C-alpha cells in the first residue's frame, strides 16, 4: 500500500499542509494538497500544492523562484494534516513579499501587521 | 468591527488553526475553530477549538488537563488559517499521549512513527 493511501482525503480530495522553516521553526504557510501534489512533493523534494483558487497544481516558487525544499514530511494522528519542514529559498514564503503568511498578530482585539515586506511583490512576480 | 469579522469563515463556519509550542517551535496540532471558539480563545487565553466529530466546543485539556496557554495568536494573509503559539501544559498535545500529533515521518515511502508515547492515554483520560 502506498503512503498516499493512508491519507483520508477530504470531500474535495484534499489535505491541509502546514509548512514550517526547518531551521527557525517559523510557520510559513498553510496550503492544501491533493494526491498528485503529495506524490510529486515526495518525489521532487520540493513543495507542490493544490491551488483551490486556480484549480490546478501549484509548484511553489514556479513564478517567484521561492521554492520550498522539503527536509521532512510528517502526518498527524488522524491523518488529516501534513507538516512540511522546508528550506525556504529566498527567505520569502508569502505572496505579499513577507517571510511568513502569518504576518498579523492579535493585539488588543485587532489584527496588527508585525512583519516587514522584504521584497516588493511587483519585483517578485514580474510576468503578471 | 471585531477581529472576528475579518475571518472569512468557510462553508462550515470554520477556520483551520495550527498550534505551535512557543518555546520550541514544534507544531503540535492542527484543529478547527468556529467564531465562538476563536472569541473564547482570545478572551480566556487558552485554546478552544470546534470539534468536528463531537460537534461542540472543545476546550483543549478539559479532560486531560493538557491545556494550551496562548502566548500569541496570528492570522495568515488570506485569513483562512490561524496560528497559535502556546505553552503546552503537561508537554502532551496528542490524544495518543505524545508531545505532537505529527509523530509520523515519511521515510522511504512509508509513514514511520518517530516519537515516543510519553503517557499512556488510559492514564490521561480516566473518566472515559
- pLDDT at B128 > cutoff 60: no
- pLDDT at A50 > cutoff 60: yes
3-class DSSP assignment, residue A41: helix
Task: Give residue-wise pLDDT tens across range B25-75.
Answer: 999 999 999 999 999 999 999 999 999 999 999 999 999 999 999 999 999
pLDDT of residue B33: 98
Q: Which three cell numbers stand for residue B36?
A: 465562538
Interface of chain B toward chain A, CB-CB under 8 angstroms: 2-3, 6, 16, 18, 20, 24-27, 29-30, 42, 72-78, 80-81, 83, 94-96, 98, 101-106, 109-111
Task: Give the Cα separation of B98 and B121 in Å (integer).
Answer: 9
- Do B25 and A24 make contact, defined as CB atoms within 8 angstroms? yes
Mean pLDDT of chain B: 95
- Do A30 and B76 make contact, defined as CB atoms within 8 angstroms? yes
- Residue B28 Cα, gap to closest chain A Cα (Å): 9
- Do A27 and B26 make contact, defined as CB atoms within 8 angstroms? no
**DSSP alpha helix (H) spans, chain A:** 35-44, 121-124
Q: Which three cell numbers stand for residue B79?
A: 485569513
pLDDT of residue A126: 76
pLDDT of residue B127: 63
Q: What is the mean pLDDT of residues B98-111?
A: 97
pLDDT of residue B126: 76
pLDDT of residue B1: 74
Task: Give the Cα separation of A6 and B116 in Å (integer).
Answer: 21
pLDDT of residue A94: 97
Q: How many residues does chain B have?
A: 128
Q: Of the candidates B24, B4, B1, which has an alpha carbon nearest to the alpha carbon of residue B82?
A: B4
Residue of B nearest to A81 (CA): B30
- Do B30 and A76 make contact, defined as CB atoms within 8 angstroms? yes
Pairing of strands B56-59, B15-21: unpaired
Task: Give the Cα separation of B81 and B58 in Å (integer).
Answer: 18
Q: The complex's ipTM?
A: 0.94
A108 CB contacts (<8 Å, ≥6 apart)?
none
pLDDT of residue B41: 98
pLDDT of residue B125: 87
Amino acid at each position: 500500500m502506498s503512503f498516499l493511501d493512508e491519507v483520508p482525503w477530504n470531500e474535495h480530495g484534499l489535505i491541509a499542509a502546514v509548512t514550517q522553516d526547518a531551521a527557525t521553526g517559523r510557520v510559513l504557510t498553510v496550503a492544501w494538497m491533493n494526491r498528485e501534489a503529495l506524490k510529486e512533493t515526495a518525489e521532487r523534494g520540493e513543495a507542490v500544492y493544490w491551488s483551490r483558487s486556480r484549480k490546478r497544481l501549484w509548484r511553489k516558487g514556479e513564478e517567484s523562484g521561492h521554492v520550498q525544499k522539503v527536509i521532512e514530511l510528517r502526518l498527524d494522528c488522524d491523518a488529516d494534516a501534513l507538516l512540511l519542514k522546508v528550506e525556504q529559498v529566498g527567505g520569502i514564503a508569502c505572496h505579499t513579499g513577507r517571510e511568513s503568511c502569518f504576518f498579523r498578530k492579535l493585539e488588543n482585539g485587532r489584527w496588527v501587521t508585525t512583519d516587514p515586506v522584504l521584497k516588493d511583490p511587483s519585483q517578485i512576480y514580474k510576468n503578471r
